Amino acid sequence: MIGPLRRWSISLASAFLAGAVPACSAAPAAPAAPPARSHTAAVPAPGEQARRLTLPFDAYDFSPAENMTLEVAEDLLVRDCLRARGMAWHVLPAPAGSESEPPHRRRYGVIEREIADVFGYHTPPDRPVVAARKQHDLARTAQASPTVRKAADRCLDRARDHLSAGAPNADAGFFNKTIFASFDASQRDEKVTRAFRSWSACMAGEGFPYPDPLTAITDPRWETSQPTPQEIRTAQADLSCKDKTDLVSIWAAAETRIQNDAIGRHPKKFQRLRAVKIRQLEAARRVIDRTRPMDRP
């Protein structure tokens, strides 16, 4: 059901690559993914293939850019709530939508040459404006008094209630299970398993024997603070073999079919999810639009 959280679904790529296993999946737990690279290498903008990658469930879930819209609106509402109580609250700078990651950037493993060449399989750091926002948030929280922090938490609950007001109940648990189930089922699709075999043969020919891309990206050897030359070479070969076998397109097409089937089987559940998303985003945009320019983050 609708709760205080603005987003009901878990990032599948984050959960899988962190070693989580969906409850509906019989697959063994994957090893932990490599951490984000912490040095100051320039973080490239998401590549064209990552931005083009869309799935049917996107209409019912919040993208990173849409989540940012909600966060900006929540921050403004918290600011107003605290002002009414005589407390100051510094509103955070808002990144442009282009600074946010596409929702499926790592769903099928590494798919961008610029990322493979620099970060290997490591998760790249946030884009600069997003990273700066997070740092400002941490500093704001650290500098606030316990009284202000407690009041801000209460105001945030009120802000989220405001953005959800009037929306129907939606089954968050069902949506999370269905997201994971579609990804799990896509790996057993006949065309995908055939593409896995072609990709695996290509990788073996390059000297990197892996049965599928998820095994490659979660290789325990990559659990290092920085990508090793071997990791980068493996990620580069992985990407080249994906391109040669058209694996990403085949995999996304299979998952698209599976997700469309799920939507067709549960139209009312998905209609409610869509209604909640639309209601929250419309409410958030109204909050942002009515804010005077000088008050905007």
Indicate whether 3 belongs to any domain.
Answer: no
> 281: domain range?
12-295
Q: What is the pLDDT of residue 97?
A: 64
In a domain, 5, yes or no: no
Per DSSP, 99 falls in state G
- What residues have CB less than 8 Å from 216, skipping those under 6 apart? 109, 121, 203, 208, 210, 234, 235, 238
Task: Note whether residue 4 is domain-resident.
Answer: no
pLDDT, position 12: 46
**pLDDT score, position 27:** 33
Model pLDDT, residue 98:
66
Residue numbers of the chain with a pLDDT score lower than 70? 1-41, 97-98, 292-297
Q: Is 232 among the domain residues?
A: yes
pLDDT value of residue 2: 38
Q: CA-to-CA distance for 165 and 280, rounded, in angstroms? A: 8
Answer whether residue 6 is part of any domain.
no
- Residues 112 and 49: their CA atoms lie apart, in Å, by 7
Residue 201 maps to a domain: yes
Specify the pLDDT at position 34.
58
Does some domain include residue 257?
yes
Question: How many domains does the chain contain in total?
Answer: 1
205 within domain boundaries: yes
CA distances from residue 254 to 55, 58, 185, 197 in whole angstroms, order as listed? 10, 15, 9, 16
Mean pLDDT value across the chain: 85
pLDDT on residue 239: 97
The DSSP element (H or E) to which 207 belongs, if any, is none
